[in-house]
């Protein structure tokens, strides 16, 4: 890369001390993990509902799990599924799978059997690791009985808890524990306790970081059938290094990161798990998000870092007793997964005194590609500047081979060492999403004169009304400025005259009221007549994705 501000406008405002055209050396994730264990051995690695384990303890369990997996025949070329909430079990088996040279396939525990079946078959997952909870085991048992899945490892959830909590869980929630020992598929099931019953001392399989797959990360399927983004060891370790270089206010070995977002999602896998481990952080693991419990945990355990999605920050702001909770320990909050409304960012920073930084990325980019600086210039509504070694090109929507001038909208395209080589077993889909070596994101945006990048919307969410383009996110931003609004989602609906028209779904803040007429009157000075919602529907809750992003897809499917 040549360092010229005309070709790379972001160089004008690049954070001081950061080298944009830095060359990163590909490394493997087991190498990253082993270094952390050697360096931070006695330090607390994970805190799971009060039970803490050190880096050394987790390291020993990872080696034993890797040995057990190897004895089952897992190694280079194997695909192993993780269907687990945030827990020490996830950490242990994630790194153990990678140490054997196998590839991790992430599964959402809330998936239906149909969704699981598709992903198991498509990825060629041969072994699934999950908990002995009915919510998860029942679905895995079905896959085993139907022959879709060859084998499963079942771990005890209650065994992870501190002794008193473990006893209470068995007493109070005993009905939620699966009686897997009586399963008709018992011959295909291995107890995690049995798999771990060995001396460890594992020697890592040889890994070529630049070419060997570490993770198959399935996309959400919002543009059709879910696809497995092939993420190499180099993709993921370099993205961790890019984040370390970017987040300059964090000290190695001294941070606590609260893991609210699920590790099976790429944002959390990189910014909480891999980044946290490599930085010697203590991971506060939240298996299921409950706002009151989470706020109490923040006050008690005092995390310094909190990655989240916009709806998390909205939920905190709108908690009726938020003034009773202490959030002063937070020093860096990162928002991703969806556009962060400016109002939410400003209110959260006013409440906590903590910088809330918006970043941007996708499953296909490991995920982080751009971010606002921790120190220095931040632009309202911007997803920031490219992280080191990353280049952004805005391409014409009509002709991706044509680059758009500064300030003009087009498709955001990304090139960098964190970008996947392609989709698993889908060469045609891979060819469609690359142009001149850049990954086509499907997001519409523009680059300002100073190099800061702004997202306008997803290409697929764009509304065409009377031939004009309307971007739902711009309408949502305007509606968020109405004081009584807590959450809003805008989609396009059929319109006899215009072809399509915007419709807004709104959740009001608790105790607040508003009418359609009041909101439309407010919007007259905020957006154009063309962008004005043709309909407004008030709801008690708005549909969200697995990580808490507001979901336009579900609302569209209702219609």
Lowest mean pLDDT, pick from 44-48, 101-105, 209-213, 528-532: 528-532
Quote the pTM value: 0.88
Question: In whole angstroms, what is the distance from residue 495 CA to residue 533 CA?
Answer: 12
Chain centroid to CA 453: how far? Answer: 20
- How is 351-370 classified by DSSP, letter by letter? HH--EEEEEEE-GGGSSEEE
The larger pLDDT score, comparing residue 553 to residue 77, is at 77
CB 355 within 8 A of CB 333: yes
Query: Measured between alpha carbons, how far is residue 74 from residues 77, 107, 214, 388 in Å?
Result: 8, 18, 14, 35
Q: What is the largest CA-CA distance in the chain?
A: 72
Give bridge partners of residue 443 from the DSSP assignment.
Answer: 458
pLDDT, tens only, 462-504: 888 877 778 898 899 999 999 999 999 999 999 877 788 999 9
Which domains are assigned to the chain? Answer: 10-21+239-458 (3.40.50.12780), 49-207 (3.40.50.980), 466-558 (3.30.300.30)
CB 257 within 8 A of CB 282: yes
- Spatial CB neighbours of 324, under 8 Å, sequence gap ≥ 6: none
Question: In whole angstroms, what is the distance from residue 217 CA to residue 363 CA?
Answer: 7
pLDDT, tens only, 370-418: 999 987 778 888 999 999 999 999 999 999 999 999 999 999 999 999 9
pLDDT, tens only, 270-325: 999 999 999 999 999 999 999 999 999 999 999 999 999 888 999 999 999 999 99
């Amino acid at each position: 890369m040549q360092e010229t501000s005309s070709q790379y406008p972001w160089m004008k405002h690049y954070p001081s001390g950061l080298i944009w055209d830095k060359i990163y050396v590909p490394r493997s994730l087991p190498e990253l993990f082993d270094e952390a264990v050697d360096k931070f051995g006695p330090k607390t690695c994970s805190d799971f509902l009060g039970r803490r384990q050190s880096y050394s303890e987790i390291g020993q369990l990872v080696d034993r799990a890797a040995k057990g997996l190897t004895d089952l025949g897992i190694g280079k070329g194997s695909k192993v599924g993780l269907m687990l909430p945030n827990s020490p079990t996830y950490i242990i088996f994630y790194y153990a799978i990678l140490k054997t040279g196998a590839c991790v396939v992430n599964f959402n525990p809330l998936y239906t059997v149909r969704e699981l079946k598709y992903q198991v078959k498509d990825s060629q997952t041969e072994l699934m690791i999950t908990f002995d909870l009915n919510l998860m085991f029942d679905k895995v048992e079905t896959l085993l009985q139907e022959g879709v899945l060859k084998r499963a490892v079942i771990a005890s959830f209650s065994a992870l808890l501190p002794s008193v909590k473990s006893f209470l869980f068995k007493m109070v929630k005993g009905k939620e524990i699966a009686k897997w020992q009586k399963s008709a598929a018992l011959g295909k099931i291995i107890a995690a306790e049995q798999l771990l019953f060995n001396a460890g001392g594992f020697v890592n399989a040889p890994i070529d970081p630049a070419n060997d797959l570490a993770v198959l990360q399935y996309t959400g399927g919002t543009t059709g059938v879910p696809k497995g983004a092939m993420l190499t060891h180099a993709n993921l370790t370099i993205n961790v290094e890019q984040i370390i270089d970017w987040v300059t206010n964090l000290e190695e070995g001294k941070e606590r990161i609260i893991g609210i977002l699920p590790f099976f999602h790429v944002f959390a896998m990189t910014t909480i798990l891999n980044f946290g481990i490599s930085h010697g952080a203590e991971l506060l693991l939240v298996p299921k998000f409950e706002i009151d419990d989470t706020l109490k945990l923040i006050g008690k355990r005092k995390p310094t870092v909190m990655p989240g999605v916009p709806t998390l920050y909205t939920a905190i702001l709108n908690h009726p007793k938020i003034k009773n909770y202490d959030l002063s320990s937070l020093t860096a909050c990162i928002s991703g997964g969806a556009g962060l409304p400016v109002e939410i960012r400003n209110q959260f920073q006013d409440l906590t005194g903590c910088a809330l930084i918006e970043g941007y990325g996708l499953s296909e980019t490991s995920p982080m590609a751009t971010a606002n600086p921790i120190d220095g210039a931040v632009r309202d509504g911007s997803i920031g500047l490219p992280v080191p070694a990353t280049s952004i090109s805005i391409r014409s929507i009509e002709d991706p081979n044509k680059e758009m001038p500064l300030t003009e909208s087009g498709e955001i395209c990304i090139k960098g060492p964190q970008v996947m080589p392609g989709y698993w077993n889908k060469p045609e889909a891979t060819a469609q999403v690359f142009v001149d070596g850049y990954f086509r994101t499907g997001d519409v945006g523009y680059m300002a004169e100073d190099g800061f990048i702004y997202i306008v919307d997803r290409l697929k969410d764009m509304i065409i009304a009377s031939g004009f383009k309307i971007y739902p996110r711009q309408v949502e931003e305007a509606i968020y400025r109405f004081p009584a609004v807590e959450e809003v989602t805008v989609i396009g609906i059929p319109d006899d005259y215009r072809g399509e028209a915007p419709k807004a779904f709104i959740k009001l803040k608790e105790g607040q009221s508003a009418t359609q007429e009041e909101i439309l009157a407010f919007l007259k000075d905020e957006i154009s007549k063309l962008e004005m919602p043709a309909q407004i529907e008030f709801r008690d809750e708005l549909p969200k994705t697995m990580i808490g992003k507001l979901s336009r897809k579900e609302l569209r499917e209702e219609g």
